[in-house]
Structure 1
Amino acid sequence: MTQTPADDRPAPGPLAGLRVLELGQLIAGPFTGTLLAYFGAEVIKIEPPEGDPIRQWRVVRDGTSLWWHSIGRNKKSVRIDLKTGEGRALVGQLAARCDVLVENFRPGTLEKWGLGPEVLKAANPGLVIARISGYGQDGPYAGKAGYASVCEGFGGLRYVNGMPGEPPVRPNLSIGDTLAALHAVIGILMALHQRGRSGSGQVVDVALFEAVYNLLESVVPEFDGAGVVREPSGTTVTGIVPTNTYRCADGRWAIIGGNGDSIYKRLMRAAGRADLADDPRLAHNPGRVQHEAEIDAAIAAWTATLPLAEVVSSLETAGVPAGPIYSVRDMFADPQYQARGLFERVEIDGKPLAIPAIPPKLSATPGGTRWSGPAIGAHTGEVLGEWLGMDAEAVNGLRQRGVI
């Protein structure tokens, strides 16, 4: 598999010089590595002999998942069989030369392999160890398997998502994994900042369910302070009116956020309902919450008479936040996505492929895709030679013994 870089961007990225060892598989751990690599870190991904399973997930082209070219970008793949003692010893040696180690195995796995934090930090006191799991490294549920789907339910997100009285709905994404990865990166950067003062690394303990729990806004204090359990509310948000999704004359849907007091007045005038705009009962959000059905019915009656583009144009002219619901096809056609550079292109065996750019945008040291996800073990010899000083004979011996 040959690859062409996405661009020849010279900027090294803000994390240039940072060495990261990625032991995770599938989504949460690897996406953490992807984020760090995108902004310049040297990420060494340790893969089992058969490779990360995500290489075969979802849409596969020419034997490799298209997803892999995105989540594996900018990483160096090193094939090591962690079921072997020699393989685990190699990982320990690599970790001794790293700034960060990322893993998302079930708690206790590293300890079983003789690679627990105490062992790793004895050899490398400055090492930051990010551990991602379903339920965290301690507590009665620590040992349970925790996929994103389960943890999204346990963490409270699924309960408030969907239509009242119907089964909770999940987005067609593993959002719990992505959220955990974002929390892991935040924790890693904070731990590195502290290391700059103390010289010591630490463990960053990320639980998928806690990453989801962190999204719950006022759910906890409202329950504890007022006994209120937030329930699913369909396309609205409980206690904020109007903010909803409305069907237009062409069958498409408009999202309209008119919940600010002055914005509400502009919305209702744009919809031809000056009577509701000037109604003193509806001047502030508490009153609008009491009359939500009346307000939503009026807005829905108006949007039903116009195609989506006219609804959005009218509201934008009035200074009311409104917009469409996009599919990925819509994203590719939209000039804002293009202007923001949200698609980066690589070539895989001569075939072009767009992969998503990763925000945030940094003005002086932007991130970027330098190469797409590599073949399994593509950098094994290079890394063992450069990092551990192994010559070709030693590397070949490991290969012959099935360690790499």
Structure 2
Amino acid sequence: MYQLLNDLSIIEVSSFVASPTAGLYCAQMGAEVIRVDYKAGGLDYDRYMLTREGRSLSWENLNRAKKSVALDLRSGEGRELCVELAARTGQCITNLPEKSFLSHSAMKAAQPERAPDMTSVRIMGWHDGRQAMDFTVNAASGYPLMTGPEDWDMATAPPVNQVLPAWDFITGAYCAFALLAALRHRDATGEGSEVRVPLGDVAIGTVANSGMMAEMLYRGSDRERLGNAIWGAFGRDFRSKDGVRFMVAALTPKQWDGLVEAFDLAGPIGELETELEVDFSAGDRPRFENRHRLFELFQTAALSRDWAELEARMASHGCTFERYRTAHEAANDPVLVADNPLFGPSPANPSGFEYPAARSFANLPGRAPDDPAPAPFLGQHSEEVLAEKLGLSSGAIGKLVDAGTVALSDKDTIYHR
């Protein structure tokens, strides 16, 4: 964590991935992010995978460094408290529907004196109000029908979904950016903003920004499947003599020259250039258009050496490459995790399970980042936040707790599932 936003408080009312990610990134930069949930936990509170005690590892990692308030959001009084918290704080991140109790207009009405500068970021499904989630917008994007083996028939082969909910994470990052942009505008003008970010628009907009939409319209057809090859450049997975699979990429002249030297292919590639009347050093196009002949040369060369030798040669020639790892191998890799300053010591996680925790992805030279903070227990900060933000007395909060409107920390609750 870096204390760049320590003067900023944000109410987050969310679930699943995109909205909690937006709050997480703000918290990692020092913002006070107060997540408000239903008193028994939001929709993602027991999201798989769970520890033996019933704690969600997904929830624990998406909510690091936040505070937690637990309210009965099914009751009128609980909802009023949530709206009042957002209105008093002045900025809110949510993925609740606009027509829910936490509408932008409801937040403005709850605190008339703050109404002009109320700022909210709301994650939606599609721009027209239809529901969506990462895997459904991905189906609409076209990408799943471009992945898979190269020899699969475009008309009959099945789609291949990506495992990572990438659109959720991109949307979360964009929402954090959009919130800070709206707050900068408010600082300059005094004017608040309602910002709506449809997950579907993030997906289809990214397709457009990448140039792929223009490509489809220009070519008048779909792009062919490429297997593990890189579109428009030289790159693919190869296998060493001892069976190690690895990925290489050459998008620059230096990267290409390094690979040719590392694989000792200057002679064979020169002969292929003469045969095809091309110059592979001229750029991506000749290498991509003749990729199958080049892949054959590189794979033959890779099968003549064990991985240790290939790795050393590619490293010495400044190549861009990486060995394929399983997710379990990656989690235990010293270069990726143990020796990486991104990760800090395990905080006191609600699950009780100790493991490396990620700091902010941004690195500020000359500034030492704080160690990663734990996620809260559900309701851990209910009393503190209601007292500080709404000015409620301990007696008033006690009555709300007794009535079941407010819940306190579930630290001592064990959910054996």
> TM above 0.5, one fold?
yes
1:83 Cα deviation after fit: 1.6
321-330 vs 342-351, which deviates more?
Answer: 342-351
CA distance in 1, matches of 2:189, 2:25: 25
1:5 corresponds in structure 2 to: none
1:243 corresponds in structure 2 to: 235
1:118 corresponds in structure 2 to: 105
TM-score by length of 2: 0.85
Structure 1 contact 223–229 (Cα < 8 Å) conserved: yes
Structure 2 contact 37–70 (Cα < 8 Å) conserved: yes
Q: How does 1:279-294 map to 2 (within 5 A)?
A: 279=273, 281-283=278-280, 284=282, 285-294=284-293
1:333 corresponds in structure 2 to: 333
2:296 corresponds in structure 1 to: 297
Structure 1 contact 38–368 (Cα < 8 Å) conserved: no
CA distance in 2, matches of 1:161, 1:366: 41
Q: Structure 2 counterpart of 1:301, which letter? A: T
Structure 2 residue 25 is matched with structure 1 residue 25: no
For 1:227-274, what per-residue CA distance to the aligned partner results, in whole angstroms no more than 9, with x for missing partners? 25334321012322x211111222221111124345334423432322
CA 333–258 in structure 1, closer or farther in 2 if over 3 Å, else same: same
197-206 vs 330-339, which deviates more?
Answer: 330-339
Q: Structure 1 counterpart of 2:380, which letter? A: A
1:377 Cα deviation after fit: 0.8
CA 12–265 in structure 1, closer or farther in 2 if over 3 Å, else same: closer
CA 367–148 in structure 1, closer or farther in 2 if over 3 Å, else same: farther
Q: How does 1:91-130 map to 2 (within 5 A)?
A: 91-105=82-96, 107-108=97-98, 111-113=99-101, 115-122=102-109, 123=111, 124=114, 125-130=116-121
1:3 corresponds in structure 2 to: none
Q: Structure 1 counterpart of 2:55, which letter? A: T
Structure 1 contact 157–212 (Cα < 8 Å) conserved: no
Q: Structure 2 counterpart of 1:72, which letter? A: N
Structure 2 contact 262–310 (Cα < 8 Å) conserved: no
CA 382–325 in structure 1, closer or farther in 2 if over 3 Å, else same: same
CA 337–44 in structure 1, closer or farther in 2 if over 3 Å, else same: same
CA distance in 1, matches of 2:77, 2:106: 16
Partner secondary structure for residue 353 of structure 1: coil
CA distance in 1, matches of 2:235, 2:214: 23
Structure 1 contact 38–367 (Cα < 8 Å) conserved: no
CA distance in 2, matches of 1:337, 1:51: 31
Partner secondary structure for residue 314 of structure 2: helix
CA 286–71 in structure 1, closer or farther in 2 if over 3 Å, else same: closer
Give the alignment partner of residue 76 of structure 2, picking from 82, 85, 89: 85
Q: Structure 2 counterpart of 1:55, which letter? A: Y
Structure 2 residue 220 is matched with structure 1 residue 227: yes
CA 220–197 in structure 1, closer or farther in 2 if over 3 Å, else same: same
1:174 corresponds in structure 2 to: 165
1:199 Cα deviation after fit: 1.1
Q: Structure 1 counterpart of 2:135, which letter? A: S
Structure 1 contact 276–282 (Cα < 8 Å) conserved: no
1:367 Cα deviation after fit: 5.4
Q: Which has the higher contact order (CA 8 A, sep 6+)?
A: 1
CA 316–188 in structure 1, closer or farther in 2 if over 3 Å, else same: same
RMSD: 2.3
1:363 corresponds in structure 2 to: 365
CA distance in 2, matches of 1:255, 1:87: 53
1:379 corresponds in structure 2 to: 381
CA 306–53 in structure 1, closer or farther in 2 if over 3 Å, else same: farther
CA distance in 1, matches of 2:368, 2:160: 36
Partner secondary structure for residue 384 of structure 1: helix
Q: Structure 1 counterpart of 2:66, which letter? A: K
Structure 2 contact 63–376 (Cα < 8 Å) conserved: yes
Partner secondary structure for residue 356 of structure 2: strand
1:40 corresponds in structure 2 to: 30
CA distance in 2, matches of 1:90, 1:252: 57
Structure 1 contact 135–207 (Cα < 8 Å) conserved: yes
Percent identity over the alignment?
23
CA 202–92 in structure 1, closer or farther in 2 if over 3 Å, else same: same
Give the alignment partner of residue 50 of structure 2, picking from 55, 60, 69: 60
Structure 2 contact 258–319 (Cα < 8 Å) conserved: yes
For 1:314-334, what per-residue CA distance to the aligned partner results, in whole angstroms no more than 9, with x for missing partners? 122222211212334235333
For 1:70-123, what per-residue CA distance to the aligned partner results, in whole angstroms no more than 9, with x for missing partners? 212111111112221111211121112224211112x33xx342x321232353
CA 287–63 in structure 1, closer or farther in 2 if over 3 Å, else same: closer
1:27 Cα deviation after fit: 1.3
Q: Structure 2 counterpart of 1:120, which letter? A: M
CA distance in 2, matches of 1:221, 1:313: 41
Structure 2 contact 2–370 (Cα < 8 Å) conserved: no
1:151 corresponds in structure 2 to: 137
Q: Structure 2 counterpart of 1:253, which letter? A: R
Partner secondary structure for residue 64 of structure 2: coil
Q: How does 1:310-321 map to 2 (within 5 A)?
A: 310-321=309-320
1:366 Cα deviation after fit: 6.0
Structure 1 contact 40–367 (Cα < 8 Å) conserved: no
1:369 Cα deviation after fit: 5.1
CA 170–369 in structure 1, closer or farther in 2 if over 3 Å, else same: farther
Partner secondary structure for residue 347 of structure 2: strand
Structure 2 contact 247–321 (Cα < 8 Å) conserved: yes
Partner secondary structure for residue 305 of structure 2: coil
For 1:351-389, what per-residue CA distance to the aligned partner results, in whole angstroms no more than 9, with x for missing partners? 523222330112356654553122211111111111111
CA 157–181 in structure 1, closer or farther in 2 if over 3 Å, else same: farther
Unaligned runs of 5+ in 1: 1-10
CA distance in 2, matches of 1:229, 1:58: 36
Partner secondary structure for residue 354 of structure 2: strand
CA 76–228 in structure 1, closer or farther in 2 if over 3 Å, else same: same
Structure 2 contact 67–380 (Cα < 8 Å) conserved: yes
CA distance in 1, matches of 2:105, 2:144: 37
Unaligned runs of 5+ in 2: 407-417
Structure 2 contact 66–375 (Cα < 8 Å) conserved: yes
218-227 vs 290-299, which deviates more?
Answer: 218-227
TM-score by length of 1: 0.87
Structure 2 contact 144–162 (Cα < 8 Å) conserved: no
1:207 Cα deviation after fit: 1.8
Give the alignment partner of residue 267 of structure 1, picking from 259, 269, 279: 259
CA distance in 1, matches of 2:341, 2:40: 34
